[in-house]
Amino acid sequence: MTASPYSVFDVNATTVAVLSRHRPTGFLGSFSAGGPPTSGTLGVGDMVSVSIFEASSGGLFGTADATGSAGSKSVQLPPQQIDRGGRINVPYAGSVVAAGRTPAQVGQAIVGALSSKAIEPQVLVTLSQNAANLVTVSGEVGQGGRFPLAVKGTRVLDAIALAGGPKAAAHDLFVRLTRGSRTGVESLTSLVANPRENIYVRPDDQLFIYREPRTFTVLGATGRNATVEFESDRVTLAEAIGKSGGLNDDRSDASGVFVFRYEDPAAYRELKGGAASGGYRSGSVPVVYRLDLKDPGSLLWSQRFLMRNKDVLYISNAPATDLTKFLRLIGAGFGIVSTGASVSQIGR
């Protein structure tokens, strides 16, 4: 006999506690939490201004007037762009590496190159136009575009705010973060509710906000079989049953309420008591959760069991319903109409 391709777990205190510890992670699982990028680092394409000061006039960059009195002791170089090689050019200092350094570090490098030529030089380097430390935000936001990263660091929600904020209800929006060859997706409500998911963005990150209403599908002996939208940040199993019109009094089996989903392997292993997950990929372990509404305590746990996007809720038929269908099928061939009363008399 082959093993079942899925596992069945009862919805109880243990199951609810395990699932609360293993809620799906988006950005935190795809990218390291880390901290803000190196403060004020320059990059290729940035425009910088360089001011050079000397201790006295008459040096490389200072001037003296016709009477010999002290004149200018400084010079302001025209703004220049950091080239593809990450360098800028400074008179008498030559080509200086700028990309990957802070303005202060670039100034120190220029001072070192001029120390034997100028009179006690001091250099001030400032960023005049940011072109390297930018994040792109597009999609369902007020005004998409490319926005500069703050020196103290910019988080995902900060970047969305810079773009004018979301244009739709938060529970319907998802954020896709692309960084190099890696991509992660997280719901906007999770970013708000879980600060750890609100990670720092990096230069050249791309944020795309899109609308995709979260839904679950209802099948079986309920008031309606349909795909139902969450329409809120979170929906419990009890609320999902209510949204589906409740159990059908004539057909449903109150002990047979099932939720079908693909579960996280870590949660699956804990539910199985540490058993291996059978080599399943992340988020791909088939699991069925069973709720027995004939047990009064199950009503309490159904209020703490959270539905997830694309879950399938199934309400099974009562055994007598299947017998009724069979008798109606047989009776139709002989012109007999079976009723609930006739079914209950079977076997007397």
Which residues make beta-bridge pairs with 47?
81, 129
What's the pLDDT tens digit per position in 272-295? 887 555 555 455 789 999 999 998
In this prediction, residue 321 has a pLDDT band, given cuts at 50, 70 and 90, of low
333 within a domain of the structure (yes/no): no
When comparing pLDDT for 346 and 167, which is higher?
167
Token pair recorded at residue 91: 């008179």
224 and 310 in a single domain? The answer is yes
The CATH number covering residue 165 comes to 3.10.560.10
Separation of CA 319 from chain center: 44
- Per the prediction, the chain carries an average pLDDT of 84
Last residue of a domain, one of 211, 234, 268: 211
| Cα–Cα–Cα angle for 105, 106, 109, rounded to 5 degrees | 90
| One domain for residues 206 and 300 | no
Domain presence at residue 1: no
Q: Is residue 83 part of a domain?
A: yes
Q: State the pTM of this model.
A: 0.70
* Band of residue 38 on the pLDDT scale cut at 50, 70, 90: low
43-81 burial code (b ≥16 CB/10 A, e <16): bbbbbbbbebbbeebebebbeeeeeeeeeebbbebeebe
Q: Is residue 307 part of a domain?
A: yes
- Paired sense of beta strands 173-179 and 285-291, if any: unpaired
- Number of domains, the chain: 3
Residue 79 lies in a domain: yes
Q: Is 6 helix (H, G, I), strand (E, B) or coil?
A: coil
Domain that includes residue 70, residue range:
47-129
- Are both 244 and 293 inside the same structural domain? yes
DSSP β-ladder status, 215-220 and 312-317 = parallel
- Give the torsion sign (CA, 338, 339, 345, 346): positive
Query: pLDDT: is 2 or 44 the higher one?
Result: 44
**pLDDT surpasses 50 at 1:** no
Q: What is the pLDDT of residue 317?
A: 85
125 and 199 belong to one structural domain: no
- Mean pLDDT confidence for 158-171: 93
pLDDT tens digits for range 205-239: 999 999 998 999 999 998 889 999 998 888 999 99
- Is the residue at 341 inside a domain? no
Decide which of 190 and 124 is more confident.
Answer: 124
Whether residue 218 lies inside any domain: the answer is: yes
